[in-house]
Structure 1
């Protein structure tokens, strides 16, 4: 083999050579299989041509090579470094050519066959995922090469195997022509990252089969036909089915849906093999302009899911995949878009078993060509069409037997062109039983769904009302937001507002939040690393950390919010008539699987509880149910009913009593805290004493409340900007974080204008303004006391031309010590104006540490909403009106300056913010800014707090609701 031809396949636009045609994937049969994962010998070269092919020959001495784990990525195992870009190609754009500097990993695996391995020669070698281009040898014979990183490839190898000493050699190139098709907003991670398996194919065994299992909702019957490339019989014992392959049979069945994932176990038996079948009967159709499954419209409450593990990258094991599905189900998620490639096939088996709608997306994205106006885009270049069709076929053939897959997606952000049309035509011809999706085609020429990303609420409403224009075909199609609610850092905001639109307009069939998990890479010094932390010359920073899960799979507040927003049972009431309205928001299931209960709570403490009898409402139905009378002798104070819907029995995805939905209904209003101005301020020895308050006589600054020291109390308008505050560079709208910094709100200066002592009050007048600007806020602090408690009334008035909203408005101060925090208000987690649906009013306890939300890039976090009172550090605070509470062991400025969690070092002071208002969060890291109703306008404001020494210390740090 010449030097040139040894690597010319890397830049060949063809999908490869030598691989067998694609076929259906199944987990197991009674045929033999040998997993070739584990420790492999490994050698890394800087270029594709740095080494010859002699390593593939039997007898080659690789004893001096390193070792890597397969499945795995070599850059996560100490060999080279990962690279993150959102859409920029990290190499010169000159398709199909790639750089000479092309990291290339040679892999070697020696293996023996089990003693009972059949000798008939019918064995294939299967690769489920290799990034980005591989060439394979077995026992010195060149089997061929392939591209399509997230797709399976098989080679016939039975004639080459020996009982012992088999040598499997794989050369993997980081860059190839295939890389131009895989620009998918993720880490570039080369390696053999999915399973490598030796599969015996017995004589007469199944090569490929297609399960057709439809459901007629008008008759309740299912029709089954299993097409096989060899003769065989299909049996389904639970249905009494025993027919020849290819023969249809119709019987009464229970249909499959994401809510009721009924699977029937069957077997396809041929002369040489028994293949297990997991059959779900369901019919997907586009009818009357809507996506219908089993005759009913569906509402997707979905997420986009990249495959990710903070140590192993995209090399996921079955336990991690199951954890993902369980977390989705437990958070009311019913759908997943496999962005932007087919997942590990076992994941789809879990979706079948546990119940999730799936949009299965092809391994295709050419986003980087936007930098040159889509010039030379492979999707519109006929030379690349065979590769595109190969990718479509390998996805469809592998996954066609999964009932959870209801929609095929052509790919993502690849422009438009003849190649996509060819893919669409092939998929429709091969599998007309499913619909077709692609977001980047505004005319919907090649799709069955009108799909968009990050359309704002106003546009989504216009689309729902069919006022959006576009082509005639587009106007007739259902609408799906394939990406919305960008979950980067604190947020996303506005999810509840989107859901209200989805539920109000039939054409809007839901959406998929971007995305499931932060792609932080575990790092010994940084905690979790993101783009730029590995010295990449091009990177997109922490844009890769935009998930509803933190990298360690702990749910973020965004996931808790999403669970509440999309809960399948509506529980509501205004407290005026003693009733609660319960609404079934499922598409298919009634409410018979749920149990309902109520608690009556006063000041956050449970006073009484009981069960609520709710009929098994059909989907879409509602019932108004009476609540009991408040218990006699209940204490006075703010009271409410909390009604919960929980699982009545264990399910495969959650235990009995798992909370599915909840709602709160007011019963008695809050009493506003009152402090009579009875105490007189006393000035002596440089201090002013007013009730329990001690002030600096010169500045009027509060120094203590009783024996609790206080420092730095002042008006505060700044917050450490969130990713959504800062927005994305390409955003056309106002990016508030940048505007706030331009205005100088992060460097406000406080001028003391007057300290006034009257008969019953201490008044401090100040002006708060940024350097270099003439805009300001006048702030008047008026202190009064009844002798035991201290009241602060704050009045602010904006001065000058304020053209932007404020980040926050309130006071902040420092306490010398605080550990435990107790409060009555919203909780248990953080909430902001447009992320507060999941905040329940109760009596909550936490530590200062646990009040912090560990976003990978530090930013504003941890605020508790609608707090009536709080106790921490020996101090009790009551607010009028209720306030936002934040407490942390570092200043806002330190939080703002940090780039990783490890930059935040606890100091000796706990800094407390009591906020009258907060600006909304929005989704502008990629989506829309906060809706106007969530803007914190710079306008006159008045608010007050009552301070006193805590009567008793907080003794528990366990989060708890009364």
Structure 2
């Protein structure tokens, strides 16, 4: 009998009411461990024989529980499948295919002779529907993959040996409600536990803690317990408070104090015990009050700004199986990176995650286990959200979410789900929450008109739309004038923005500026925290992180699941460093040697921070100086006069003031000295500039030999290419306009700003091909070079080249001008002048030159921006300094290879083999102070372009140095908006220069300083 697989009911059998996940001293027995396992091909062929306690399962396999069976056995039990929106089965609700892998799980366990009244069997997570037998007695059916199910098994369990069978179906009617942009991973993936319920037990409780500005806290009390559980006492030892209720009629709320409030910045918790006649329950209480005042969301009376992340539960080996050590490290990295909020996309996490959020400090949007996105392909026809047959399932899901997590201080918003359209069932969910919990608002992005929700929410709004939401004019999605007026009375948050797929996202600082400008805007949640790559192996055994299609799926959404700020192996991306810089809670500005420190904290002062400053002159840093910054209240500013040692001085080099704030003491998430915020200000800069045009150049003649020498270098006399300099073999320079397309470059999901300016398209851009398609159509990936001239004089070598592509009338004329200084014959200068033909009609990915170098030149030391990479729309984290890194540190190993590693505004660069510096160069600025940047890579852009995974990249016998005068921005067009016009690279005449200096000597300065007053500097800015 398998009708339950395809019905609308939320579950059946001996299901217990939803309740809190409590820490109790009552007896419990974990049933995690080795289970016997057999996989059936269909739910329609399963028999019930295995439910018999005497069934012989000796020929079954053994697997661990928790686990996902598709991640075990190297494909023996099937493979994982990834889809974003698509259902991997026909959309015919509530029916599922006959091909429905069904995992049969059995185990025996020994139960002590507990002195209890009842025993519950709890499953914290099973995908997707499961049926349970205990000692041959059918217990019930559980549904809701990321929700807890408890069954009363009192009369089925026995002291001594017991036999448990759990039948898990991969597909069911409930799969239509769980289309959540992640891997489909069937199995018992969270804990299985037997819970003894003593006589006088506390079945459920809710201590709803609020904070008042007189310093007191109030505790609303709700107890679910029988009369024999009384008296029940609430003890808060640290507050010296004991409250005893003699009977159910006595239960009422009470006031305590004074208390310290809980916030994401100061997560103050008080240990409490609730003691009945049969049980002691332990809780950690946080006092905070959530309230909406007009269009402002307040916690403890102050507006909350979310610097948040969407967090799926994912691990490359364990899938959604919980590991506390990894979860704690994950959340600590969030805190270290300035993340203050989490949206639990798109389901409640393992309950211990919320314990950790309470402890470490996060504002949490707790989201129900619900998404029906695949119905968008049917125009939302038949969507369960508006079908009354599904109402009970919808209400069951939100009830189990709220009841489980209601005691958590970190949970300040309930979210009904994600991308499930709209309809009566969602409205019914909201009504239920509003009746049940008056202390938290309700969120759901799909309610565009705020018909049944308390917050206005959008995904990936462009900048013009976001400004319109913050202001009082402009059309809003799905709203008429009256509805737009209503939603503008609500607090606004972006539940998803800045899609972090591959190299990106660009444009974070623009969103942050809007949130600062418009009080109605409350920030948002980056999509998303972590790549979902699963560990896989190539044919030769090489490990890689797989994505959609790598496991043989017929229907999949490719690498759209690789869209996190953290790689599958826990490596933070440069995008996370950029996020941290943009979101930092302290901002610095400088005027007339007066440093202003502005706090963006919600609720804490700066007492926990100490401040330092450093003056960098050229590539040399002064000693760090402690700054006497006064204690600053949240939202306020303070000024400090710079000590004389940090003020601008006359120098032959540029000068930079760097300041930072760091933790005074160790915290639960970072050690003492962890940097919280940085700022940098240019006090004196370069003056000599490279001018576009044709400079004076000594007339020369065509070289007569195949090899010619100029100073420390040799060249190919026929092509003018450099072949050796300072004893290092080189091939170059070659104009390079291509880059390994990023995921954003490859996408046309949103409009193109190349085809339609933001102001002409309401911020969206015009529909059209991706940037990568436009670039490829014009041949930028297959440029050919024609040498038009090679001429040489005593101190100069000139090569003129025309660069173009097959079947294209587009071209670029390039002049490479080499000059040796007669006074310093070991220093060689290269100036590159280029002029594109007038018929270019697309942006360029980059414009620069490539040098092919010996394979062992893999260590870089540079004076320029760093330590992480920087692009035009992702450069707030970049600061000028002296840095060193190996080639593999300089580049990000994205699971789909793509452009990576550019560092802008290079002053000087030294390359070594790890022991000896063998190549050294420096650059010159143009009239705006702009300098070229550099990339050092093991791969060419064309190789990155062709590879779908890192193991497909060639093992080259060279490394490749790119000196790029400019690069195109990143954007977030994989799901968000295109690169803004001001960050786009358009063809145009340009010139840039560099000098190659003797590796053993001092780097020759390529510029002279120009004066710039301190008042010209301001808050950290893209460079």
TM-score using structure 2 length: 0.90
Give the counterpart of 1:549 among 558, 563, 566: 566
Q: What does residue 731 of structure 2 align with?
A: 711
Is the CA contact (8 Å cut-off) linking 1:681 and 1:689 kept in structure 2?
Answer: no
Q: By how many angstroms is 1:497 displaced?
A: 1.3
Give the counterpart of 1:435 among 430, 434, 441: 441
Give the counterpart of 1:629 among 612, 625, 644: 644
Q: By how many angstroms is 1:155 displaced?
A: 0.5
Q: By how many angstroms is 1:406 displaced?
A: 0.4
Q: Which runs of 5+ in 2 are unaligned?
A: 246-250, 752-766, 913-917, 926-930, 1004-1023
Matched, 1:568 2:585: yes
String of CA shifts for 1:706-745, please: whole Å, max 9, x gaps. 3122113211100010001111546546521111112221
Matched, 1:158 2:154: yes
Give the counterpart of 1:501 among 514, 529, 542: 514
CA distance in 2, matches of 1:663, 1:906: 40
Q: Specify the SS of the correspondent of 2:111.
A: coil
String of CA shifts for 1:602-638, please: whole Å, max 9, x gaps. 2333222210111111111112322122379997422
**Greater Cα shift, 683-692 or 337-346:** 683-692
String of CA shifts for 1:119-155, please: whole Å, max 9, x gaps. 4341100000000000001000000102100000000
Q: What does residue 879 of structure 1 align with?
A: 923
Q: What does residue 401 of structure 1 align with?
A: 407
What is the correspondence of 1:205-284 to structure 2 with a 5 Å cutoff? 205-217=201-213, 219-230=214-225, 231=230, 232-245=232-245, 246-251=251-256, 252-284=258-290
Matched, 1:917 2:966: yes
What is the correspondence of 1:142-221 to structure 2 with a 5 Å cutoff? 142-217=138-213, 219-221=214-216
Is the CA contact (8 Å cut-off) linking 1:462 and 1:468 kept in structure 2?
Answer: yes
Matched, 1:589 2:584: no
Is the CA contact (8 Å cut-off) linking 1:682 and 1:688 kept in structure 2?
Answer: no
Q: By how many angstroms is 1:895 displaced?
A: 1.4
CA distance in 2, matches of 1:548, 1:915: 26
Q: What does residue 744 of structure 1 align with?
A: 779
Q: Which runs of 5+ in 1 are unaligned?
A: 1-5, 955-962
What is the correspondence of 1:46-57 to structure 2 with a 5 Å cutoff? 46-57=41-52
Q: By how many angstroms is 1:317 displaced?
A: 1.3
Q: Alpha carbons of 1:752 and 1:684: their partners in 2 closer, same or farther (altered >3 Å)?
A: closer
Q: What does residue 668 of structure 1 align with?
A: 684
Is the CA contact (8 Å cut-off) linking 1:215 and 1:255 kept in structure 2?
Answer: yes
Give the counterpart of 2:833 among 787, 795, 806: 795
Q: Specify the SS of the correspondent of 1:350.
A: helix
Q: By how many angstroms is 1:679 displaced?
A: 12
Is the CA contact (8 Å cut-off) linking 1:705 and 1:948 kept in structure 2?
Answer: no
Give the counterpart of 2:120 among 99, 120, 124: 124
Give the counterpart of 1:98 among 92, 96, 99: 96
Is the CA contact (8 Å cut-off) linking 2:116 and 2:197 kept in structure 1?
Answer: no
Q: Specify the SS of the correspondent of 1:864.
A: coil
Q: Alpha carbons of 1:676 and 1:878: their partners in 2 closer, same or farther (altered >3 Å)?
A: farther
CA distance in 2, matches of 1:119, 1:901: 58
Q: By how many angstroms is 1:331 displaced?
A: 0.7
CA distance in 1, matches of 2:593, 2:999: 36
String of CA shifts for 1:485-543, please: whole Å, max 9, x gaps. 11110011111111111111111100100001100001122511110001100111110
Q: Specify the SS of the correspondent of 1:229.
A: strand
CA distance in 1, matches of 2:140, 2:1002: 72
CA distance in 2, matches of 1:830, 1:522: 27
Is the CA contact (8 Å cut-off) linking 2:699 and 2:792 kept in structure 1?
Answer: no
Q: Alpha carbons of 1:734 and 1:623: their partners in 2 closer, same or farther (altered >3 Å)?
A: farther
Give the counterpart of 1:603 among 601, 604, 618: 618
Q: What does residue 60 of structure 1 align with?
A: 55
Is the CA contact (8 Å cut-off) linking 2:32 and 2:66 kept in structure 1?
Answer: yes
CA distance in 2, matches of 1:223, 1:737: 58
The count of corresponding residues between Structure 1 and Structure 2 is: 944
CA distance in 2, matches of 1:400, 1:58: 38
Matched, 1:30 2:18: no
What is the correspondence of 1:662-811 to structure 2 with a 5 Å cutoff? 662-670=678-686, 672=688, 683=703, 685-729=705-749, 732=767, 735-758=770-793, 760-786=795-821, 787-811=825-849
**Greater Cα shift, 588-597 or 222-231:** 222-231
Is the CA contact (8 Å cut-off) linking 2:698 and 2:793 kept in structure 1?
Answer: no
String of CA shifts for 1:810-865, please: whole Å, max 9, x gaps. 10110124121111011112111111111121111111222121111000001112
Q: Alpha carbons of 1:517 and 1:728: their partners in 2 closer, same or farther (altered >3 Å)?
A: farther
Q: By how many angstroms is 1:582 displaced?
A: 0.9
Q: By how many angstroms is 1:884 displaced?
A: 1.5
CA distance in 2, matches of 1:24, 1:262: 25
Q: Specify the SS of the correspondent of 2:79.
A: coil
Q: Specify the SS of the correspondent of 2:622.
A: strand
Q: What does residue 651 of structure 1 align with?
A: 667
Q: By how many angstroms is 1:760 displaced?
A: 4.5
String of CA shifts for 1:745-797, please: whole Å, max 9, x gaps. 11112122222335643222221112111122111222211022111111212
Q: By how many angstroms is 1:868 displaced?
A: 0.8
Is the CA contact (8 Å cut-off) linking 1:709 and 1:816 kept in structure 2?
Answer: yes
String of CA shifts for 1:881-929, please: whole Å, max 9, x gaps. 3222111122221111111111123311111100000000000111001
Is the CA contact (8 Å cut-off) linking 2:702 and 2:790 kept in structure 1?
Answer: no
Q: Specify the SS of the correspondent of 1:714.
A: strand
Q: Specify the SS of the correspondent of 1:69.
A: strand
CA distance in 1, matches of 2:317, 2:364: 26
CA distance in 2, matches of 1:938, 1:680: 30
Q: Specify the SS of the correspondent of 1:160.
A: coil
RMSD: 2.0
Is the CA contact (8 Å cut-off) linking 2:66 and 2:189 kept in structure 1?
Answer: yes
Q: Specify the SS of the correspondent of 2:535.
A: strand
String of CA shifts for 1:860-879, please: whole Å, max 9, x gaps. 00111211111115121211
